[in-house]
A and B are shown apart, each in its own frame.
Chain A
Amino acid sequence: MPLLEMINLSKTYGAETVVKHIDLRLDRGKILALMGPNGSGKTTLLRLAALLTNPTEGKIIFDGTDTECSEDKRRALRRRMSVVFQEPALFNMSVEDNISVGLSVRGVNERGIRARVSEVLTQMELVDLRRRRARTLSGGEAQRVSVARALATKPELLLLDEPTASSDPRNASIIERVVTESNADTGMTVLIATHNPHQARRLASETAFLFEGEIVETGSTSKLLESPEDGRTAAYVSGKMA
């Protein structure tokens, strides 16, 4: 049974349909990249997967449960996943307080919070920044905190929206390393939106190419990047599409 399944999913804002009839299946323990140019609908698809918005049409099944349910049930499902947004969206508090929020709202006790925050700070190489106000961090550091905040709750599904878009190579490499390690060590399933084929190759075993709200092609990342079947995928991968 897949952890996440999207069935004929569409999302319309006003007159514009930004996600069109998407069918996507993400098996437990996999890393799937959603690759596509800006404006292709990656962020909307991630927000739908994160249950932060409702589809106009279609269904999202999470671990066998239809997500079209009461808000309490959706919150319970949401607590099994974490999201890293393209903009870090950190709270105006210290780094460690930011990381502890997800645990606090789950009612984890002080000892548990302390231990987990400490683990994640070490994992993300943020120990020296723990007391810093989150809003004073650089873009890359802030995104590392955002990833740490997402990982602190040990999600079954991690949703990443262009997580290294504002990061320098060092910050990007830390984020990629931790995502890969977490997937390997805990079997955490990952759905990552990226416009970067190289990042898709480094992180994901499978990739779906999204173009103008539709999934054009899905397959193993190496095959999709090396011998794409669709002309649009080929144009994008070869850098001929903006």
Chain B
Amino acid sequence: MSGWDEIVAGMVKAVQLILAGDPTLIQIASLSIAVSGTATLLGALIGIPAGAIISLKEFRGKSLVVQVVNTLTGLPPVVVGLILYLFLSSSGPLGFLRLLYTPQAMMLAQLLMIVPITASITISSVSSVDPDVREAAASLGATPLSEGLIVLNEARLGLLTSVVVGFGSAISEVGAIMMVGGNLLGYTRALTTAIVLLTNQGEFAEAIALGIVLLFLAFLVNTLLTLLRNRFAGASPYAASILTGTSAPRDP
């Protein structure tokens, strides 16, 4: 078959698998979403506050820290996978956790890759907030925490972008999760690692089918996050109360 035939066959196969509700496909796709979703969530919980603190605080060596974070966004997945493998292997410092070849190890690998990305975009977004806005918050008597939350609220589109980019990076990652997950069918096989395996076996149509499913899932999640981002682009009537922990004024 030519390349085009493989692609067309892959598309047909993808539709068939989806329509048939293929249990293996569902299991693989579910694992991908669960691992990448958890890694994205944890990545946001760590990366956004870390990026915000780096951006808002003045400290010695700040530009070096920013440079390091930005450099880490380009971490090669196989390097992350290798280091994590060495840490999690039975003779490694974290071997006692027995996480190697588990979905948790895959999540950890993705987390290590997402945190710098989320932090870097957060640093950039927070830094681009108008300094006058921050000064206005200070002039209103805001505590450093409220001031930070007001600035984060101003940078909210950038923060949501960091989550979208983080998820995109996680769901499409293959090298690291292959190394620490092991690609075990029914346990640690994700969409990307399955595609690699099928390609190696010459099962191009199935590989393309999974690729299309992967793209579809990424599109779906990104659409949801983009809708959320657009929703946040508008002013929330409760924005001030969310920021400051009190209730917002409503119509008398």
- A residues whose Cβ falls under 8 Å from a Cβ of B: 50, 52, 75, 78-79, 82-83, 85, 87, 89-94, 96-98, 100-102, 104-110, 113-114, 117-118, 131, 133-134, 149, 153
Contact = CB atoms under 8 A, between A and B. Distances in A.
Contact of A101 (B143, B238, B240): B240
Chain A interface, DSSP helix/strand/loop, else mixed? mixed
Contacts of B234: 133
Contact of B139 (A83, A104, A131, A134): A83
25 contacts: A78-B141, A79-B141, A89-B135, A91-B153, A94-B239, A96-B237, A96-B248, A97-B236, A97-B240, A98-B240, A100-B241, A101-B244, A104-B243, A105-B141, A105-B244, A106-B141, A107-B246, A109-B246, A110-B248, A113-B249, A114-B250, A114-B252, A118-B249, A133-B234, A133-B235
Contacts of A78: 138-139, 141
A171 to B, nearest CB: 19
B240 A92 contact: no
B-side interface size class: 20 to 34
A102 B141 contact: yes
A89 B150 CA distance: 12
B6 interface: no
B140 A105 contact: yes
B247 A110 contact: yes
Contacts, number: 110
Nearest to B244: A104
B133 interface: yes
A93 B133 CA distance: 12
Given A91-B239, A101-B137, A101-B240, 16 more contacts: A85-B132, A85-B136, A90-B136, A91-B136, A92-B154, A93-B236, A93-B239, A96-B249, A97-B235, A97-B237, A97-B241, A104-B245, A108-B246, A110-B246, A153-B140, A153-B141
Contacts of B153: 91-93
Contacts of B140: 82, 101-102, 105, 149, 153
Contacts of A106: 141
